Amino acid sequence: MSNRILPLELIDKAIGSPIWILMRGQTEITGILRGFDDYVNLVLDDAVEFSPDPRDKSVILKKELKAEILLNGNHVAVLVPGSKGPDDSLASKA
Amino acid sequence: MSLIISLKMPSGKGSKLLRYIEHRLRVSLTDNRTIVGTFLAFDKHLNLVLVDTEEFRTLRSKKGGGSANVIEERMEKRSLGLIILRGENVVSIAVEGPPPPSGGRVVAGGPGVVKGVGRGAPPSTTAVGGAPMGMGAPMGLGAGPVHGVGGMAPPPMGGPPPGMGMPPPGMGRGF
């Protein structure tokens, strides 16, 4: 029996609630977490992608994917459970 | 104590990291990001759980065209709160500082837990003790997700008081 909460258990607890994924690079995705596996491949509902405009990197484009998506865990860097994304109040720029 | 650790983390790397639980860590990632947060948990992949997390990115943009090769460096800082960091992306971990006083960690709990009431033993014990129950797959899934996430934050808050916040007391309390 573990003494502490393992990282993957924490993701498990976020199932059904919003989650904010920071990918390697600058792309970020938010959505409702439906499920995941050991590789941290993720299934997200109502996913919204935030990625920098290729022409002007300081502009962030918001793309609503409007579907259930399977996100490959290969490029996942950080998961923020309970957050609705970069516009969330907690994530306001300091 | 050491027995438990060696069973759990055969590499021995675990015990070195365990020492820094509750400390502030600075983690640099493969994509030039730096994450600073209070270290709560890890696993064999070096996946990390951090609270009160801040992300730092240096964005480089060329300013002025032609011969004027001025590269502007902008440090962008964001507060992320409670995060899970994938071990795959970890390049290095440095200890930024000692465990912060529990008052400083209240923020990460989100809007719902503004008060640092968790200093007393009972809430902390229930929170820490209750969480591992989610380990069994059915239990974990069964637990209300929203509550689960909300429930995550209190343990750090109610965790070991500053000063004595070393892993052993914290772990002993959990079980």
Which tokens hold the place of B41?
């948990």
Rounded CA-CA distance A92/A82 in Å is: 15
∠ at Cα A70 (A68, A73), nearest 5°? 145
Of the listed ranges B12-26, B41-55, B159-173, the least confidently predicted one is B159-173
Predicted local confidence at residue B11, as pLDDT? 54
Q: Please give, rounded to a whole number of angstroms, the shortest distance from the CA of B55 to a CA of chain A.
A: 10
Predicted local confidence at residue B73, as pLDDT? 80
- What pTM does this model have? 0.65
Q: Does domain A7-83 have CATH number 3.40.50.620?
A: no
Cβ–Cβ below 8 Å for A7 and B148: no
What are the chain A neighbours of B89 within 8 Å (beta carbons)? 24, 77-78
Answer yes or no: is the ipTM higher than 0.95. no
Question: Residues 99 to 118 of B: which have CB under 8 A from any A CB?
Answer: 110
Of the listed ranges A58-67, A76-85, B50-59, B69-78, the least confidently predicted one is B69-78
Q: Does domain B16-61+72-97 have CATH number 1.20.1510.10?
A: no
pLDDT digits (tens, 9 = 90+) for A27-75: 999 999 999 999 999 999 999 999 999 898 888 899 999 889 999 999 9
What are the chain B neighbours of A73 within 8 Å (beta carbons)? 86
A23/B7: higher pLDDT: A23
Distances (CA, A) of A21 to A53, B71, B95, B100: 18, 29, 25, 26
pLDDT digits (tens, 9 = 90+) for B61-112: 766 655 667 777 888 899 999 999 999 999 999 999 999 987 544 444 443 4
Predicted local confidence at residue A73, as pLDDT? 95
Predicted local confidence at residue B144, as pLDDT? 41
